[in-house]
Every structure is written in C-alpha cells, then in structure tokens.
Amino acid sequence: MILLLAEQSGPLREATTFRRLIAGAESNVAIGVCRLGHSAGWIGRVGDDELGRAILLRLRGEGVDLTHARADPAAPTGLVIRERREFGPIDVVYYRRGSAASRLGPDDLDEDYIRAARILHITGITPALSTACRDAVFAAADIARAAGVTVVLDPNLRLKLWSKDEARLILRELAGKADVLLPGAEEAELLTGENDPEAAARALLGLGPKLVVVKTGVDGSLAVSESEVVRVPAMPLARVVDPVGAGDAFAAGFHVGQLRGLSLPETLWLANRCGALAMTVPGDIEGLPRWDEVMDASQSDIRR
C-alpha cells in the first residue's frame, strides 16, 4: 500500500500535511530480510498506476525479487492513512476494498518459486482482504508444506478488516498449516483465550506448529516448543518514535537468525533488536536495520 503518514502529532482529523511512504506487512518483512543481507521475494499485486509504480520501484531498490509481483490494470493501489501520536493507540484508515492487492488469487502463485524458498512468510492480513486472497494464502501454505519449506505465520491482526470471530476461526485454521507462529501477546490471547503468554503459546502448539514465538513488548519475546521455553529480554529504548512496523522487523530478524543457523536464544536476541530499532524512526520500513546497525546497537558474542 501507499502510506500517508501525518506530519503533526494528534488526531487524524487535525492533520493537514502528510508524508508519502510505502507500507505492507509482507513487503516490510521482505525488505527487512534483504537489509540484513539475505534474499527475499514478494508475491503480490499493486495497481498499474503511479502509486503502484512507486511501490515496485522502492521494493526493487531494496533488493526484493519482484518476479511474481503484478501491476493490475483493473484495480487501484491500496492506501492507508495514519495519524502520528507520541502516546496511546494510533488511528489508521484503510482504503483497500477493491484494491489491486485484494485481487490476489491462487493463479498468482508459482509453485516452483515457492518450493525453491527456505521460508514462506504469510500473515493474517492478506486472508482478511478477500476470499480470493484467503484462497491464495492457504494454497501457498499447502505448496510450501508439501515441499518441506518452513511456513511462518504472523497473525498481524487487523480488526478493521474483519471481526474477531472470523479472524479467530481463519487464523486458527491457518496456524495448523504453519511450522512457526509469531503472534503478539494480545493476538495469542485472542486465538486461545489464555492471557498468560506461555499458556497461550502452549495452546497454540496444539494447533500444529512446532514453535510459537510470542512478542511480549517491553518484556521481549518468548519462544515455546514441545521441548523448551526460551525468554529473551527486549532491547531498552529511551523513546519510541513510531511502533508501527516493529513486528515486521522482528519477523525479518527471526528469519535471518534461522537462515544464519543461530540458536533460538540468539535468534530472539536478533529479532528483538530489529523490532526495537524499527521503532526509532517514523514509517513502516524506514527504520528496518541493516546487519551492522544491529551489531552496533549492542555488543554481543553472536557477531558472525
């Protein structure tokens, strides 16, 4: 999507000037992985318009493979408008119904391309956009699982796109096709009814994944499998500039930790720091760190 981010802090109704940026959970993760020194591709649609071209130009410039990105001449590029606040919840307005992204379907998938990956990253946003999008996400997960590709699901709950009941039903079903889940604490509670992150993670393991990693905000992150529980504290920040996109940065760090063969504690260390650094800059992708920036942020024995 194109993101219009308010320049002034306060309610969206009072904002008069905006910065034009780009946003989108899956594309954020792809950029984050590329900045950390690995390769990533993005499967999706934008409109065949100037805004769509701006998105593809930025993704290509970040090194993301766009072999299977399409410019749709029959639908516009989606739009999100976001207010800026120093504290409290941030209001977001979406213009996504009928957008090019909502027209993604199973026919947009290249099975050989998915089979060649090491990780397939999917979120709960895409299946909320349309029935065709939902079918595409489930089909991609099935292709990856059959080929032995690790499927990672970030629920990325957006209740402006669907109801809690519908989200819970679909995301629990999709979790059964994932190897790894990356929920936030509130998402884990919504999916399980458990308000304790470890109890929620154990309940989510019962749906089928091998590993559940719960992002616990200022407490860091918690990973639970059948054989171990790992907790890693958050990287302290003097000030949060913009919390949006931190979960995508966390996911990128998690993927790169796994791709580099780091241990689970080391992987969570990396993911936590990527998420923290993303919050020091306004915008969804502007704060996604590069490898040397992560290493400079904290002295550690996992330099590789």
Which residue shows structure tokens 């904290």?
298
CA angle 44, 46, 48 (to 5 degrees): 140
**Angle (nearest 5°) at CA 33 between 149 and 137:** 45
Looking at the DSSP assignment, which residues form a beta bridge with residue 95? Answer: 79
Among residues 72, 154, 179, 248, the one annotated as catalytic is 248
Would you state the structure tokens that stand for residue 287, as one six-digit string? 């704060």
For residue 210, give the amino acid letter.
K
C-alpha to C-alpha distance for 84 and 296, rounded to whole angstroms: 28
Rg (CA), the chain: 18
165 is catalytic: no
Sheet holding 18-22, edge to edge: 18-22, 2-9, 79-84, 92-95
Length in residues, the chain = 304
- Residue 178's nearest CA partner among 138, 231, 214 is 138
Q: Which residues pair with 45 in a beta bridge?
A: 70
Helix (H) or strand (E) holding 7: strand 2-9
Catalytic residue numbers read 248
